[in-house]
Amino acid sequence: MRTRRLGATGLTVSRLALGTMTWGGRTSAEDAEDLLTAFRDAGGTLVDTAHGYGGGSAEELLGRFLGGGRDDVVVVTKAGIGARSGDRVVDCSRRAMLHQLDTSLRRLGTDHVDVWAAHAWDDATPLEETVAALVHAWRSGRARYVGVSNHVGWQAARTMSLLAAEGVPLALDSVELSLVERRAERELADAARSLGFGLLPWSPLGRGVLTGRYRGGVPADSRLASDDLARFAGRHVGDHTRGVVESVRTAAEGLGVSPALVALAWVRDRPGVTAPVLGARTPRQLAQLLPVEDLELPAQIVEALDEVSSDLA
């Protein structure tokens, strides 16, 4: 698998990342181990997880599979989102962030992570306090690099300026980006290239809609059919994305590949992107996505997809 630098840092990573959000939930431990093995066998090195994924199961499984030997794996984990009484809670206070970091390190069975990120923007916590936690983790060696997640352009830039004042670089911003969700490109693509942080797009397949699997209804095994993920998956299903989905399908037919590969290649090669995060739930799904490494979209197809999805930017 080809590699890229993570933003302007010296860290080299694969240009695809493996996501672990469903590990310990909709993805069994056995399938999770097979996913990691297949990803590494394909040359993948970048693995994305978080303190809150699977109630902690994702980090625990990843730590177990790596077994302390991860010289060829770059681990990104995030803090600041948790659950309280079953509800999602954003808390990027210094106390919460560093407590979650300690927990993440224990689950992963290591004394440091490669990249540690604030998982969300927290309106209730002064940004200076969140940044202080990132700086402390970096200076103490518990995080080799730091980043943010789900920050729009001005939020990432403000965070970066506070980090820079402490001599700490911002390595990445992980945001949703796909052909049916292009708002991140308004500010972040230029900011990433100008300021030197990498973009890690999550849901590059538009929460599944760009695969075409919802064209004829809702499959029983899909996220849209599940009680816990229906709201998440359903955002991009509807008339507002139908034209994009059909255009991706047409391009895929012309190239002799799947719609998923077309959609994924488009995100992978957007300006400022380091690596899209593959959210495959099963080894079969991952096997269908890994051939994207050999796919380069012709310029005319990229231009056509840019045009048909321009209203979603």
For residue 185, which phi and psi values (nearest 5 degrees)? -75, -20
pLDDT of residue 225: 46
Q: Fill in the DSSP letter of residue 215.
A: T
Q: Does the structure show a pLDDT above 80 at 232? A: no
Domain ranges of the chain: 3-207+272-297
Rounded to two decimals, the pTM is: 0.93
CB atoms within 10 A of CB 211: 24
Q: Measured between alpha carbons, how far is residue 78 from residues 11, 81, 174, 182, 229 in Å?
A: 18, 8, 10, 23, 20
| CA 32/CA 81 separation, integer angstroms | 22
**CATH code 3.20.20.100 for 3-207+272-297:** yes
What's the pLDDT score for residue 237?
Answer: 73
Under the banding of pLDDT at 50, 70 and 90, the label for residue 142 is: very high
| pLDDT tens track for 249-295 | 999 999 999 999 999 999 999 999 999 999 999 999 999 999 999 99
Mean pLDDT over all residues of the chain? Answer: 93
Q: Mapping DSSP to helix (H, G, I), strand (E, B) and coil, where does residue 261 land?
A: helix
- Mean pLDDT over 70-86 rounds to 88
Active site residue 53: yes
Look at residues 159, 155, 48 and name the one whose alpha carbon lies nearest to residue 104: 48
| Per-residue pLDDT at 224 exceeds 80 | no
pLDDT tens digits, one per residue of 80-127: 998 776 788 999 999 999 999 999 999 999 999 999 999 999 999 999
Q: What is the rounded average pLDDT of the residues 9-28?
A: 97
pLDDT given for residue 84 in this prediction: 72
Which of 53, 121, 202, 266 is an active site residue?
Answer: 53
Residue 167 corresponds to which tokens in the numbers above?
């001599």
Buried b (16+ CB within 10 A) or exposed e, 161-198: ebbeeeebbbbbbbbbbbbbbbebbeebbebbeebbbb
Residue 240 has pLDDT above 70, yes or no: yes
Residue 131 has pLDDT above 50, yes or no: yes
The pLDDT, as a whole number, for residue 239 is 79
